A and B are shown apart, each in its own frame.
Chain A
């Protein structure tokens, strides 16, 4: 063991530290926050442009088709956010259902989404306290 010890330790330490550095740096750039309409509105300047997941209910009467886009409003108890998505909504998508949309808030206050996830459960309740575990649960990726 003695022969290899020093170089091996040096190689080991450098590999591990480079990877640790890379992984923390890379993670920082790839964090996706879950927000409710209320928290998204509250942190408006910071939230513009960042990729976030917005969770809430599709407001009744808000769904319309605009060219190839689908436009609707996501609400919670206090706030609402207008969402525009180019992705075709899945079969389960309808007014009143819980959704999670991934995308970013544009400068015009409209949330642009590339990805629409529908909550996949029959007993839907509005997410409490901005926690979107409800909306996330059992969702099937439909991008």
Chain B
């Protein structure tokens, strides 16, 4: 019953989106206001039906209605309530429903915002977004339909979702965050296509486009890091990032979206680089499609291959159509957008933005090359190979340090054509401070690794510039308006909320890059076999295997090993475990982590002898990893500030 209701909502959503796409393009072509109103109605109808489909699927899951195929696939009477709720995104068909649901929220917001704005561009933008919506509604209605009836006889119970997903609470919020980022890119994509179709990209549209880009960018950033955190806490190999194709798939659109966010500041300033900005937005959307294809089609075999299905070719087809559409439209229309403004001098904020864009695009290219090369080789020469992690690390290091350097140069330099004196004033003091740091680290602390030292130096430079950028408006107010520190700070902040948000994001990113550099350079690990009561020494700690404990839960059995750890900061207990799920015969490890300000102690249980007399432990000392998660919260906070609507009366 619920399955048929769900089908109905999906078909209605598909109908609304298709009809809206048709009226939208007609409204754009004919300049008809009536058709635009119809398009907006269709858009609202799509949103409503998609939300209803989502709710129907959740109800089916909660009522354990195993007559619905998807519930029979991922549901289980033994699953706890929260697992049942989130099992909606534990497999392909359900996650596309979540996808549609999120798209409908973004689309609803855009429809309301654009209701009486930009009548030239809005219909094109809406039509583009509704075309994407129609594609996803088609996937849900046809090839990936989760509402299909389960084969007869209706099963009495199901296997429950993939054990890897049940193993950690982060899995509850990592996929929705990533989807909010991925799906959200549909809005800036539609807006960029709208600008191309209508040939208009004014300052107001650019500013709105930038904000529409910023919101999914923030979600994507958080989603990527949460994915790394989950891998760190669950997979037990002691790291958070392995350049796995699935990880790269989320990182690629992040890179181009970051480039686009910076490029979009140029047209709103001086009417230049419109075509470039629009192209970056289009590429970002195409990369989200490519990412979905790579993670959802099973072309790469990885942890995520549980979502294998035959929607791969359909997705590839849509990607090809979108790519061709973007290229053709760009070729035909980009001239109409050509900016008249000058970019400025070679040493200016504009030029540093250009260089930043160039580096981000080059980074995207190298990651894309390394990710897709194995696919190309397999298809072409029938050779199976993979591109090793060192390739990515070797490329990421120089590009990362150069980007970090530009994070300092860009905000420090004035717009336009600054005089040599101004440039020197802006750059020399922070550079001098930054040069001291590696010298001190090298001279006093004997750190002699070139890349970490270069990273620390450039990070200091970027930090000094960022802090100066935030302090300068306050200082000026205190001097010229004779305000107190608190008044000056709050007023400067209210007037430059976007700018402060941006600098806070920069500070967060700087901490993330430094934490990555430290954790990569100074990580140590070793494997031990330890008998009961035995002690091993590793770095400044000693680890004693005390006993093993066995737990029975409704959906799994858990072997926990009690390890007493003694170190300079006192004693603590770690309990790494192996979980066996009733539905899967293989045990899944869950490592135990103790976080200190400077490092994590991380213990993975490799194996436990049947008589529990010995354990295999993999012990890691991971420096600075905890800072990644904290810094990501800072990035999220900064993004929120920058994206939050400015207070009325306070010019942004």
Which positions in A face B, CB cutoff 8 Å?
A: 1-4, 7-8, 11-12, 15-16, 19-20, 22-23, 26-27, 29-34, 51, 53, 68, 86-93, 118, 120-122, 130-133, 136-138, 140-143
* Of B14-22, B187-195, B298-306, B639-647, the one with at least 4 CB within 8 A of chain A: B298-306
By the criterion CB–CB under 8 Å, are B607 and A88 in contact?
yes
Contact with A along B522-534 (1 / 0, CB 8 A): 0000011100000
Closest chain B residue to A31, Cβ basis: B385
By the criterion CB–CB under 8 Å, are B303 and A7 in contact?
no
Shortest Cβ gap from B218 to chain A (Å): 28
Closest chain B residue to A19, Cβ basis: B362
Interface status of B253 (Cβ within 8 A of chain A): no
Closest chain A residue to B391, Cβ basis: A30
Shortest Cβ gap from A87 to chain B (Å): 6
List residues of chain A with CB within 8 A of the CB of B358: 11-12, 15-16
Which positions in B face A, CB cutoff 8 Å?
A: 235-237, 242, 272, 301-303, 305-306, 339, 341-346, 350-351, 354-355, 358-359, 362, 365-366, 369-370, 373, 383-391, 394-395, 398-399, 527-529, 578, 584-589, 605-608, 616, 618
Name B305's contact: one of A16, A27, A53, A137 (CB within 8 Å): A137
By the criterion CB–CB under 8 Å, are A4 and B344 in contact?
yes
Between B242, B345, B388, the greatest number of chain A beta carbons within 10 A of the residue's beta carbon is seen for: B388
Shortest Cβ gap from B274 to chain A (Å): 11
Bound CA–CA A32/B608 (angstroms): 31
Contacts A26-B395, A133-B384, A140-B235 hold; do A92 and B346 have CB atoms under 8 A apart?
A: no
Contacts A15-B362, A140-B236 hold; do A23 and B369 have CB atoms under 8 A apart?
A: yes
Bound CA–CA A68/B605 (angstroms): 17
List residues of chain A with CB within 8 A of the CB of B242: 141
Bound CA–CA A118/B341 (angstroms): 59
By the criterion CB–CB under 8 Å, are B606 and A142 in contact?
yes
By the criterion CB–CB under 8 Å, are B587 and A8 in contact?
no
List residues of chain A with CB within 8 A of the CB of B398: 22
Bound CA–CA A47/B425 (angstroms): 58
Closest chain A residue to B617, Cβ basis: A88
By the criterion CB–CB under 8 Å, are A87 and B527 in contact?
yes
By the criterion CB–CB under 8 Å, are A22 and B395 in contact?
yes
List residues of chain A with CB within 8 A of the CB of B306: 138
Bound CA–CA A92/B586 (angstroms): 6
By the criterion CB–CB under 8 Å, are B391 and A27 in contact?
yes
List residues of chain A with CB within 8 A of the CB of B605: 91
Contacts A19-B362, A30-B387 hold; do A1 and B608 have CB atoms under 8 A apart?
A: no
Name B586's contact: one of A19, A53, A122, A132 (CB within 8 Å): A122
State the majority secondary structure of interface residues on B: mixed
List residues of chain A with CB within 8 A of the CB of B390: 26, 29-30
Name A34's contact: one of B302, B384, B399 (CB within 8 Å): B384
Shortest Cβ gap from A65 to chain B (Å): 9
Bound CA–CA A22/B236 (angstroms): 32
Bound CA–CA A7/B354 (angstroms): 12
List residues of chain B with CB within 8 A of the CB of A90: 589, 606-607, 616
Name B343's contact: one of A3, A22, A89, A91 (CB within 8 Å): A3
Closest chain B residue to A93, Cβ basis: B607
By the criterion CB–CB under 8 Å, are B305 and A138 in contact?
yes
Name B588's contact: one of A12, A33, A140 (CB within 8 Å): A140
By the criterion CB–CB under 8 Å, are B391 and A4 in contact?
no
By the criterion CB–CB under 8 Å, are B586 and A8 in contact?
no
Name B386's contact: one of A16, A20, A22, A53 (CB within 8 Å): A53
Between A1, A2, A53, A130, the greatest number of chain B beta carbons within 10 A of the residue's beta carbon is seen for: A1
List residues of chain B with CB within 8 A of the CB of A19: 362, 365-366, 395, 399
Bound CA–CA A57/B456 (angstroms): 47
Contacts A3-B342, A4-B344, A23-B369 hold; do A32 and B388 have CB atoms under 8 A apart?
A: yes
Closest chain B residue to A7, Cβ basis: B346
12 A/B residue pairs, CB under 8 Å, sorted by A: A15-B359, A27-B391, A29-B390, A30-B387, A31-B385, A31-B387, A34-B384, A34-B385, A91-B608, A122-B584, A140-B236, A141-B235
Contacts A4-B343, A16-B362, A133-B384 hold; do A26 and B607 have CB atoms under 8 A apart?
A: no
Bound CA–CA A83/B403 (angstroms): 43
By the criterion CB–CB under 8 Å, are A4 and B369 in contact?
no
Bound CA–CA A19/B588 (angstroms): 40
By the criterion CB–CB under 8 Å, are B606 and A89 in contact?
yes
By the criterion CB–CB under 8 Å, are B237 and A142 in contact?
yes
Bound CA–CA A90/B517 (angstroms): 29
Closest chain B residue to A88, Cβ basis: B616
Closest chain A residue to B370, Cβ basis: A27
Bound CA–CA A22/B396 (angstroms): 11
Name B384's contact: one of A20, A89, A131, A138 (CB within 8 Å): A131
Name B587's contact: one of A2, A12, A16, A91 (CB within 8 Å): A91
List residues of chain B with CB within 8 A of the CB of A33: 383-385
List residues of chain B with CB within 8 A of the CB of A136: 301-302
List residues of chain A with CB within 8 A of the CB of B345: 3-4
By the criterion CB–CB under 8 Å, are A133 and B301 in contact?
yes
Q: Considering the complex of A and B, which 3 residue pairs feature the smallest CB-CB distances, nearest first?
A: A30-B391, A30-B388, A34-B384
Bound CA–CA A15/B390 (angstroms): 21
By the criterion CB–CB under 8 Å, are B236 and A142 in contact?
yes
Closest chain B residue to A16, Cβ basis: B362
Shortest Cβ gap from A72 to chain B (Å): 14
By the criterion CB–CB under 8 Å, are B373 and A122 in contact?
no
Closest chain A residue to B388, Cβ basis: A30
By the criterion CB–CB under 8 Å, are B608 and A8 in contact?
no
Bound CA–CA A38/B585 (angstroms): 29
Bound CA–CA A130/B382 (angstroms): 10
By the criterion CB–CB under 8 Å, are B236 and A11 in contact?
no
List residues of chain B with CB within 8 A of the CB of A87: 527
Bound CA–CA A142/B235 (angstroms): 8
